[in-house]
Amino acid sequence: MFWSGTAHFHEETAEWLDRVAKITPILVRHREQAERERVTPLAVIEALRAQSIHRMWVSPAFGGGGVSVRTGSAVLQALARVDAAVAWQMGVQGVISRMSDYLPEPVATQLFRDCDGLVVGGINPTGQAEPVTGGYRLRGRWSFASGSTHADWLVCACVITAPDSTPPSSTAPAPTRMLFVPSDAVRFDDDWRTVGLRGTGSVSFSVDNLFVPGDFTVDGSLLRRPPQDRPSRGHAIAYYDFGPFTTASTALGIAQDALSAFPGIAVGTVPARGTESLAASHIVQAGLARAAALVRSAELMLADAADQATTRRESGGEKLSALIRLAAATVGENAVRAVDSLHSLAGTRALAAGGRLDRCFRDVHSAVAHITLAPTNFEMVGAYLLGNALLMRR
């Protein structure tokens, strides 16, 4: 049984990596345009949609690929080795698509099977949702909506407010809810100007006094637990246990690209007033090996976490959550250390605008700013290992 499952995994992963290979020339062709315009061109999104990559983690019941966590991670790594901005958007789409398992089935069908655009948005609860008859009255502003230019629907994370605006108790966290709204009902602000991941188009958007039916919402407290079992369910792990795989996979792919790019730079580069290439330097050789070790250990740790998520599923609890968060934070840390060291070893050759190491350096530092890869995860997992509850944030 074990070997049968492994064979299936290899076949599935090979099939989906082949889909990435088919569209790689399109990604490469439009990569610089995305950097300049700060948004991924429509031609790239259409190519991704044609291969169903934006729906790879969605249940087949809702028109998705239903791939394993590990296969999806491999796809994001492959995309990031070509264009990290594309991988980031597909990761955002991938994790938000996991809410399809929490939404009522007719709504999940409408959002993910009947619509072919992206479903992205803001999952930090910076909006307010007031309960009204039949649903909620929504208002607020959300930042970092990666891929929103090509979205049909946007999720808006909110704090639930009372009609009389009574402030929530200071001793308990305010209840949250995820509200899904059509993209033509929001106002976008073109405020995405950053060093890395430029092509993600991660602009802000706002909503003012919009009614959202109750069926188009998800109770935020449910997302820390696996979705209820039903025939249409795509994955049996909690929403918040899924997210770290997407960001970590993109960061890892960036580091893999840097590792692949470095030998070509080192072999052909002789430092100013030097007599030998960088490749002949013992310091460079050792540095490259250490970077390779960082990347390889990150690959193994992330793959193990993906396998644990698949195996433990509903029974994993806080132990599984801690393992996933530890793996993601380690991947982020290793990816930055590997890219930084290779960038430093390459010297001035790494400074060329548009060069691979330059892009990797900028993109990886933007990627690890995400909260799922933040060093604070080490603190919270450490506290858990010392016998405390696993906090979401502190």
pLDDT tens digits for range 259-271: 999 888 877 766 6
* Alpha carbon 223 to its chain's center: 16
- Cβ distance 106 to 140 under 8 Å? no
Q: In the numeric block, which tokens belong to residue 88?
A: 């980031």
If you write DSSP's letter for every residue of 1-60 in order, what string do you get? -HHHHHHHHHHHHHHHHHHHHHHHHHHHHHHHHHHHHTS--HHHHHHHHHTTGGGTTS-G
Q: Per-residue pLDDT tens for 270-286? A: 665 665 777 778 888 99
CA distance 346 to 258: 11
CA distances from 363 to 1, 276, 354 (A): 41, 31, 12
Nearest by Cα to 338 from 287, 375, 291: 291
Residue with tokens 């074990």: 2
Q: How many secondary structure helices (H) and strands (E) does the chain include?
A: 10, 7
Q: What pLDDT does 271 receive?
A: 62
Determine whether domain 239-385 maps to CATH 1.20.140.10. Answer: yes
Give the pLDDT mean for 60-70: 95
Asked if pLDDT for residue 70 goes beyond 70, the answer is yes
Q: Which amino acid is at 344?
A: S
Q: What is the pLDDT of residues 157-214, one digit of tens each?
A: 999 997 655 555 556 678 999 999 999 999 999 999 999 999 999 999 999 999 999 9
Which residue is associated with the tokens 């072999």? 267
In sequence order, what E strands does the chain have? 118-132, 135-145, 151-160, 176-182, 187-189, 203-213, 217-219
Structure tokens at 292: 């390779």
The letter for the amino acid at 341 is S
pLDDT at 341 (0 to 100): 95
pLDDT reading at 104 higher than 80: yes
Q: What is the pLDDT of residue 2?
A: 29
Average pLDDT, whole number, for the chain?
91
Spatial separation of the C-alpha atoms in residues 292 and 350, rounded to whole Å: 18
Q: How confident is the model at residue 316 (pLDDT cuts 50, 70, 90)?
A: confident
Place of tokens 């499952």: 5
Furthest CA-CA distance within the chain:
78
| Partners of 181 in beta bridges | 154
Write down the residue that tokens 């049968």 correspond to.
4
pLDDT at 6: 43
Beta-bridge partners for 129: 138, 160
Tell me what pLDDT residue 280 has: 76
Q: In terms of Cα–Cα distance, which of 194, 242, 219 is closest to 98?
A: 242
Contact present, 232 and 207 (Cβ < 8 Å):
no
Least confidently predicted of 60-69, 162-171, 237-246? 162-171
Q: What was the pLDDT predicted at 3? A: 33
Residue 108 DSSP SS3: helix
Pairwise CA distance, residues 228 & 149, whole Å: 32
pLDDT tens digits, one per residue of 127-144? 999 999 999 999 999 999
Q: Is the dihedral of CA 294, 297, 301, 302 positive or negative?
A: positive
Let me know the angle formed at the C-alpha of 76 by 37 and 59, rounded to the nearest 5 degrees.
110
Assigned CATH topology for domain 119-222: Butyryl-CoA Dehydrogenase, subunit A; domain 2 (2.40.110)
* 121 backbone φψ class: left, alpha, beta (φ>0; ψ -120 to 50): left
Classified by CATH at the fold level, domain 2-101 comes out as Butyryl-Coa Dehydrogenase, subunit A; domain 1 (1.10.540)
Encoded tokens for 324: 């996933």
CA gap 337, 252 in Å, rounded = 11
pTM of the model: 0.93
Check if the beta carbon of residue 268 is closer than 8 Å to that of residue 277: yes
* Domain boundaries along the sequence of the chain: 2-101, 119-222, 239-385
d(CA 346, CA 156): 43
Q: Do domains 119-222 and 239-385 have the same CATH topology?
A: no
Three-state DSSP state, 218: strand
C-alpha dihedral over 241, 123, 116, 38, to 10 degrees?
Answer: -110
Phi and psi torsions of 121, nearest 5°: 140, -150
Q: What is the mean pLDDT of residues 85-111?
A: 97
Q: Which band of pLDDT confidence, cut at 50, 70 and 90, is reported for residue 39?
A: very high
Please state, in angstroms and rounded to a whole number, the distance separating the CA atoms of residues 177 and 169: 17
